[in-house]
């Protein structure tokens, strides 16, 4: 429900709740999510504090935080939350919102990896590790970094140079097209 009677914070929380399908407004700051998060040591703000900022309508601060880019999607937060709030889903939503608003990522290398991964899925219909790594290296100009490790993976046949094909790859492209049309 939107309209003139809704404060800016209510608009932002409703947008995040709708797009992520997560009940942000149910958070009562028990901080169990932050206590279990393996990345909380590097997050500014903690993931629980990010929910508080969403509730306060601090869209700029939320979309510029490094927290949304450091989330690894392990879903520990959702498993620990007494209200079942999966912050990793919220962070996925917030990353897309930040990119759509043209906000530079709080963690540029993570954003480069995110974009590289999505580009290979969109192109090949599935994850393609060598393609993701190649695009990431181009975006970050870190061409020789990890080269030794990459060669070891190739030698042990753990990294395929060519992507596997999938049936109905066009369906994946359709999903990306629909998401773009929906503004996500």
On whether both 69 and 119 belong to a single domain, the answer is no
- pLDDT tens figures, 50-67: 999 999 999 999 999 999
- pLDDT of 29 higher than 50: yes
On whether both 79 and 22 belong to a single domain, the answer is yes
| 3-21 mean pLDDT | 77
On whether both 13 and 88 belong to a single domain, the answer is yes
- Please calculate the CA angle 45-22-97 and round it to the nearest 5 degrees: 60
Q: How far apart are CA 54 and CA 64, in angstroms?
A: 12
The whole-number pLDDT of residue 2 equals 42
On whether both 82 and 144 belong to a single domain, the answer is no
* CA atoms within 13 A of residue 101's CA, in its CB half-sphere: 15
Domain boundary among 100, 127, 159: 100
On whether both 80 and 112 belong to a single domain, the answer is no
55: containing domain: 8-100
The whole-number pLDDT of residue 7 equals 53
**Do the domain assignments include residue 122?**
yes
Domain boundary among 51, 72, 100: 100
On whether both 34 and 56 belong to a single domain, the answer is yes
- pLDDT tens figures, 70-126: 998 899 999 999 999 999 999 999 998 998 898 887 778 888 888 899 999 988 988
- pLDDT tens figures, 129-158: 999 999 999 999 988 888 888 889 888 988
Q: Which residues have CB under 8 Å from 31's CB, separation 6+?
A: 46, 48
Sign of the C-alpha dihedral computed for residues 153, 156, 159 and 160 taken in this order = positive
| Closest C-alpha among 121, 119, 129, 126 to residue 159 | 129
The whole-number pLDDT of residue 5 equals 47
The whole-number pLDDT of residue 22 equals 96
- pLDDT of 1 higher than 90: no
The whole-number pLDDT of residue 9 equals 64
- Own/partner long-range contacts of 130-134 (Cβ < 8 Å, ≥24 apart): 130/159, 130/160, 130/161, 130/162, 130/163, 131/163, 133/159
Q: How does the average pLDDT of the chain come out, rounded?
A: 87
**Do the domain assignments include residue 3?**
no
DSSP 8-state secondary structure symbol assigned to residue 154 = H
Domain boundary among 47, 72, 100: 100
3-state DSSP call for residue 70? helix
- Tokens 């060669």 locate to 151
**Do the domain assignments include residue 77?**
yes
């Amino acid at each position: 429900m939107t309209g003139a009677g809704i404060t800016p914070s209510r608009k932002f929380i409703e947008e995040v709740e709708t797009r992520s399908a997560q009940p942000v407004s149910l958070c009562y700051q028990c901080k169990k999510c932050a206590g279990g998060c393996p990345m909380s040591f590097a997050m500014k703000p903690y993931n629980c504090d990010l929910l508080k900022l969403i509730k306060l309508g601090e869209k700029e601060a939320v979309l510029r935080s490094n927290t949304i880019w450091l989330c690894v999607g392990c879903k520990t937060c959702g498993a620990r939350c007494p209200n079942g709030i999966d912050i990793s889903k919220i962070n996925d939503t917030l990353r897309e919102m930040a990119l759509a608003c043209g906000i530079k990522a709080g963690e540029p290398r993570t954003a480069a990896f995110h974009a590289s991964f999505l580009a290979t899925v969109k192109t090949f219909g599935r994850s393609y590790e060598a393609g993701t790594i190649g695009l990431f290296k181009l975006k970050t100009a870190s061409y020789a970094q990890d080269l030794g490790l990459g060669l070891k993976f190739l030698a042990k046949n753990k990294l395929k140079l060519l992507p596997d094909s999938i049936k109905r790859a066009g369906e994946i492209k359709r999903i990306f097209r629909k998401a773009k049309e929906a503004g996500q």
